[in-house]
């Protein structure tokens, strides 16, 4: 029986791992990033999303804004990709709705399960606090994801900028061409380039538009690129050479980060091996010996 149980555990773990690998592999398709986004046609009746949108906007208009934290919140919303002037109102509305829903839902669940009064208030307070913190945590997660996407696409963008500059285009026309060519593969970075182009068309100096680009994204690699472009524009050096050198620098930094993660992998694998692999290995190797001892040795001891 012990051998059969070990075999069933092994088959269950192997089957679950294979299912997860196939499921995630089917979801992640690199060619989907090159396809244009699908257009969604709305019906004549108002959708639940539109009703929720209006509810959040109405709740946000009732929330008092704190003048001290408002600039920081606007900067975070811009770095997360929300450039709508009413984004602050939607954020406050989402915070009010999530606080009310999670707090009220926790209270109803506790009353439904007949939770004692000693635990009712802490659980309800915990659900309310989680609803209050959830929008900010989502905003920070979105900022981190957007920064990662910009850092990942920056070397490819720099390579295309080098090609455009060496073909005779100026820096402004290069930015426009890159934003148009890579808007599907790297929409975050190309969107920021489009905003920078609009700022320069509105009358801002190139240096100011580049610094605004670095401040909007908050990516350190892009900030260094802006510093390189500003120095190149000031001293009149070769733009193509500077961009090529910065692209090589970014790839070297990415390779070093990958090597650092690979060096840490052995330490991180200690706990999965110790808690997942070794128990099953002990069951497979020592299980038959223990079974034979129980079957042969114990009856001998009892007869003695």
Domain end, chosen from 146, 163, 193, is at 146
Q: Is residue 218 part of a domain?
A: yes
pTM listed for this prediction: 0.69
- What proportions of the chain, in percent to the nearest 5, are helix, strand and coil? 80, 0, 20
Q: Which domain holds residue 231?
A: 149-266
What confidence tens digit (pLDDT) does each residue in 217-270 have?
A: 888 888 888 888 888 878 877 888 888 888 888 888 888 888 998 888 888 888
| 133-167: pLDDT as tens digits | 999 999 999 999 999 999 888 888 888 888 888 88
Structural Rg of the chain based on CA atoms: 29
Alpha-carbon gap, residue 60 to 94, rounded angstroms? 7
Instruction: Specify the pLDDT at position 170.
Output: 83
Query: Quick one: 156 and 138 in the same domain?
Result: no
Least confident of 4-13, 68-77, 143-152: 4-13
User: Are 219 and 284 part of one and the same domain?
Assistant: no
Q: Indicate whether 186 and 126 sit together in one domain.
A: no
| Sequence-ordered list of residues with C-beta below 8 angstroms from that of 93, at least 6 positions apart, any chain | 55, 56, 57, 58, 59, 60, 61, 63
User: How remote is the C-alpha of 271 from its chain's centroid?
Assistant: 25
- The reply to whether 258 and 181 lie within a common domain is yes
Quick check: 294 pLDDT over 90? Answer: no
Whether residue 226 is contained in a domain is answered as yes
* Residue 18 counted as domain residue: yes
One domain, residues 163 and 128: no
Asked if 103 and 185 sit in the same domain, the reply is no
Judgement on whether residues 242 and 154 belong to the same structural domain of the protein: yes
| Residue 179 maps to a domain | yes
Choosing from 146, 165, 184, the residue where a domain stops is 146
Q: Are residues 221 and 274 in the same domain?
A: no
- 81 and 168 belong to one structural domain: no
> Could you give the number of structural domains in the chain?
3
130 and 73 belong to one structural domain? yes
Question: Are residues 122 and 98 part of one domain?
Answer: yes
Among residues 108, 126, 146, the one where a domain terminates is 146
With b for 16 or more beta-carbon neighbours within 10 A and e for fewer, the 19-49 pattern comes to: eeeeeeeeeeeeeeeeeeeeeeeeeeeeeee
pLDDT score for 232: 83
Query: Can you give the pLDDT at residue 51?
Result: 67
Predicted confidence (pLDDT) per residue in 181-195, tens digit = 888 888 888 889 888
CATH number for the domain harbouring residue 200: 1.20.81
- Residue of higher predicted confidence among 13 and 69: 69
Number of H helices, E strands in the chain: 13, 0
Question: Domain for residue 63, yes or no?
Answer: yes
Q: Using an 8 Å Cβ cutoff, are 251 and 155 in contact?
A: yes
**Is residue 157 located within the same domain as residue 249?**
yes
Q: Does some domain include residue 43?
A: no
Give domain status of residue 44, yes or no: no
**Would residue 217 count as lying in a domain?**
yes
């Amino acid at each position: 029986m012990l051998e059969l149980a070990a075999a069933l555990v092994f088959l269950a773990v192997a089957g679950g791992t294979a299912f997860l690998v196939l499921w995630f592999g089917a979801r992640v398709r690199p060619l989907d990033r090159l396809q244009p986004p699908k257009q969604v046609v709305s019906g004549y009746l108002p959708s639940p999303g539109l009703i929720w949108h209006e509810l959040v906007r109405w709740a946000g208009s009732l929330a008092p804004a704190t003048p001290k934290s408002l600039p920081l919140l606007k900067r975070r919303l811009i770095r997360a990709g929300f450039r709508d002037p009413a984004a602050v109102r939607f954020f406050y509305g989402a915070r009010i709705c999530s606080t009310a829903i999670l707090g009220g839902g926790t209270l109803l669940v506790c009353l439904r399960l007949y939770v004692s009064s000693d635990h009712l208030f802490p659980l309800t307070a915990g659900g309310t606090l989680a609803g209050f913190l959830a929008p900010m945590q989502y905003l920070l997660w979105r900022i981190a994801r957007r920064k990662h996407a910009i850092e990942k696409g920056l070397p490819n963008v720099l390579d295309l900028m080098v090609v455009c500059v060496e073909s005779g285009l100026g820096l402004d026309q290069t930015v426009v061409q890159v934003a148009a060519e890579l808007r599907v593969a790297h929409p975050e970075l190309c969107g920021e380039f489009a905003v920078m182009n609009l700022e320069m068309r509105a009358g801002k100096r190139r240096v100011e538009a580049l610094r605004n680009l670095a401040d909007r994204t908050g990516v350190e690699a892009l900030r260094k690129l802006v510093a390189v472009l500003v120095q190149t524009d000031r001293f009149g050096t070769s733009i193509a050479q500077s961009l090529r050198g910065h692209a090589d620098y970014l790839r070297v930094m990415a390779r070093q980060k990958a090597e650092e993660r690979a060096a840490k992998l052995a330490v991180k694998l200690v706990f999965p091996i110790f808690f997942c692999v070794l128990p099953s290995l002990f069951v497979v190797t020592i299980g038959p010996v223990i079974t034979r001892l129980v079957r042969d040795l114990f009856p001998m001891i009892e007869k003695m």
